[in-house]
Amino acid sequence: MKRRIFDLDSRGYFTRGGQRILPVGVNYWPASCGVQMWRAWPEEEIRRDLDLVSQLGFNCVRFFLLWQDFEPKAGRYNGAAFRRLAQFLGWCRERKLLAQPSLMVGWMSGGIFWPEWKGDKNLFTDPGLGRRAAVFAAKAARVCAAYCDTVLAIDQGNEICCLPDCLSAPPAAVERWCGALSAAIRKGFPTALVISGNEQNQIVSDTGWRFGAQPGCDLYSMHAYPNSAWHSLQFDGMTDPLAQSLLPLYVKCARAFGPVMVQEFGTIFTIGSCCDDYLRAILPACWEAGANGFLWWSLRDFAANGHPYNKNAFEGPLGLAGADDRVKAVLRFFAEFAASLPSRPVPVTDQGEVALYWPRHYYLRDDPLNPGNDPRALSRRLAIAHFTLTELGHRVGIVRGDQPLENLSARTIVVAGAALTAEEVTALTVWVKTGGRLVWHGIDVTTWGDAATELVGAAPADLRAPRAEGVNAFGTLWNFREFPRHVFLEVVPSGAHVDAADHAGHPILLHHRLGCGAVAACLAQVDDTFAAESDDRAVRGRWNRWYEGMLALAGHTAAKDTSSSLTAPAKKFRIA
């Protein structure tokens, strides 16, 4: 096998000929025709746009193939479209631009695009359709292979996790399809890096596109925008620090499983100082979280009509560059940030000082071993915990429950309402005994076996109504109505100290010294209580007070922040 021109180093960053490179640029359709590019083929406009990408100081272009334009009838291909693909790649080569073609573009700008001959067959479960997809992918990859010095990576498709086909297919079928498409791409282009262009639904829902289960892919992608309707909790606009914390959190989650590229991002609107505020917050934070590239959506405002722009008109004015061929004033920080990347220290991408716990069984569908975790609820709790801990000045990372807990950088783990298996509780018990600090919210009654009794220092006694009112903790009165399984678990301490109880005297908050470490446990789903008011900035001081108190109960003390050093050990990633 030939040696790759483009690869990923041991820290998960792109290399060319062994030298690190940082892809920064745009997602691209021509403004005049948008998704009709391959049919309209405005050559002069495309060449001018690629010139502009280079002139603006960027080095990468992600672009999209529509399957129906390349294979209008099953098994019959449009030779002109493939010649145009080669032409586009040649223009990128001439300008020394990195190209990232996206192949299976069924989802684009809120619309669905498939060949008519697909019919109502499911992309992931229909064997014949799967074979057709693989043949198309291999054929497109062969064209790309002739430009192996230009093609940074081949993208399986755009936001495939948004397709209805995902939710109507078993997750195992999605995983098999991913592996088959990766193999087909490498059949046509053996040295290609492969990525699947998915977004925050890899975290906030269970579409079948799961971390650790994207076979054949070399890295993950992350897309996200500041629209709270697309996330699992509400926030208050682009200037809201909670909104600004989400994409960096998603990058950290993906980075716990492998390299990750911020392959698509934007500001929804491109006027107002709120855009500048948002970019100044998220871009450095995503870099510190370990992102290895950044691509804006999109190069220019769209003037195209028709599907999907008629029904999603907001997609039109999202361009980076204005009519004067300059980056729009409120978006200039992206260009400044891109120019600064070569001089920025490579960040540490370990588990942080305080680590949020990603349970062994995060995804729910077709997993009989999942003790009750649902991605939408759990991602909401992770977002609350991550935001609050970051606001308190902690360097926050992710620790995976399916990996050993030895030699973590984190001295404190926060379980933000996850349901854990007995093995996970046992592993956490061993870790705490050796000196670890644990904060655990919302302990599920199904989790509470002998290991939990030892860890928490209390035993379950009864199941009560899901309310705990009149709880005095950390100088504040709390009324909790959110509990796992909608029951308030009454416990009897057996070594733990009760720090707060409800008005009837039932323990709600405990801490327990165990071996060389300590546990601070709250029986309520505290982060759900906070999430119910997540768009109210005025109440967040209470969140800080709570987390400060819980960390203190667990014996956590701040450590020196080394987030910009190069001292983290290198590791070779395997993402699936």
- Which pLDDT tens digit goes with each residue over 458-507? 999 999 999 999 999 999 999 999 999 999 999 999 999 999 999 999 99
Task: Please report, to the nearest 10 degrees, the dihedral formed by the alpha carbons of residues 378, 379, 382, 386 taken in order.
Answer: -170
CB 90 within 8 A of CB 143: no
Amino acid 447: pLDDT: 87
Task: Tell whether the model's pLDDT for residue 307 goes beyond 50.
Answer: yes
Mean pLDDT over 159-175 rounds to: 97
Helix or strand holding residue 132 (H, E): helix 127-145
Amino acid 574: pLDDT: 52
pTM for the structure as a whole: 0.96
- Report d(CA 264, CA 257) in Å as an integer: 19
What single string gives the DSSP state of each residue in 486-517? G-EEEEEESSPEEEEE-TT--EEEEEEEETTE
CB 384 within 8 A of CB 409: no
pLDDT, tens digit (0-9, with 9 covering 90-100), for 47-73: 999 999 999 999 999 999 999 999 999
Tell me the HSE value of 409 on the side-chain side, using a 13 A CA sphere: 23
pLDDT, tens digit (0-9, with 9 covering 90-100), for 79-124: 999 999 999 999 999 999 999 999 999 999 889 999 999 999 999 9
Task: Tell whether the model's pLDDT for residue 510 goes beyond 60.
Answer: yes
- Residue 166's SS3 state is helix
Q: Which residue has the higher pLDDT, 471 or 304?
A: 471
pLDDT, tens digit (0-9, with 9 covering 90-100), for 170-212: 999 999 999 999 999 999 999 999 999 999 999 999 999 999 9
- CATH class of this structure's domain 6-343: alpha beta
- Report d(CA 249, CA 386) in Å as an integer: 7
In one-letter notation, the amino acid at residue 2 is K
Confidence of residue 558 (pLDDT cuts 50, 70, 90): low
> What CA–CA distances, in Å, run from 207 to 62, 213, 324?
24, 12, 41
Amino acid 561: pLDDT: 44
Amino acid 568: pLDDT: 37
Which has the closest alpha carbon to 460: 484, 418, 488? 488
CB 498 within 8 A of CB 510: yes
Q: Please give the CATH superfamily to which domain 354-553 belongs.
A: Class I glutamine amidotransferase (GATase) domain (3.40.50.880)
Burial of 475 (0-12, 13-18, 19+ CB in 10 A): exposed
The end-to-end CA distance of the chain, in Å, is 21
Two tokens, residue 119: 């019919």
Which has the closest alpha carbon to 252: 418, 399, 409? 399
Q: Give the strand pairing for 107-108 and 219-224.
A: unpaired
Task: Tell whether the model's pLDDT for residue 240 goes beyond 70.
Answer: yes
Q: Give the strand pairing for 458-464 and 437-441.
A: unpaired
- Report d(CA 269, CA 272) in Å as an integer: 8
Amino acid 562: pLDDT: 42
Which residues, at least 6 apart from 400, have a Cβ–Cβ distance to it below 8 Å? Answer: 256, 257, 358, 360
- Residue 24's SS3 state is strand
**Range in 69-73, 315-319, 349-353, 530-534 with the lowest mean pLDDT:** 315-319
Q: Which residue has the higher pLDDT, 303 or 358?
A: 358
- Residue 120's SS3 state is coil
User: Tokens 């032409």 belong to which residue?
Assistant: 87
- Report d(CA 208, CA 206) in Å as an integer: 6
Mean pLDDT over 419-431 rounds to: 98
- Report d(CA 391, CA 82) in Å as an integer: 50
User: Tokens 């959110």 belong to which residue?
Assistant: 482
Q: Give the strand pairing for 507-514 and 497-501.
A: antiparallel
- Report d(CA 95, CA 566) in Å as an integer: 33
DSSP 412: E
Task: Tell whether the model's pLDDT for residue 281 goes beyond 70.
Answer: yes
Phi and psi torsions of 420, nearest 5°: -115, 150
Mean pLDDT, rounded, of the chain: 95
Helix-helix angle 43-55:79-94, to 10 degrees: 30
Handedness of CA 249, 350, 210, 524 (dihedral sign): negative
Amino acid 559: pLDDT: 56
Amino acid 566: pLDDT: 30
Domain boundaries, the chain: 6-343, 354-553
DSSP 85: H
Burial 517-527 (b: 16+ CB within 10 A, else e): bbbbbbbbbbb
- Report d(CA 54, CA 57) in Å as an integer: 5
pLDDT above 90: percentage of residues in the chain: 91
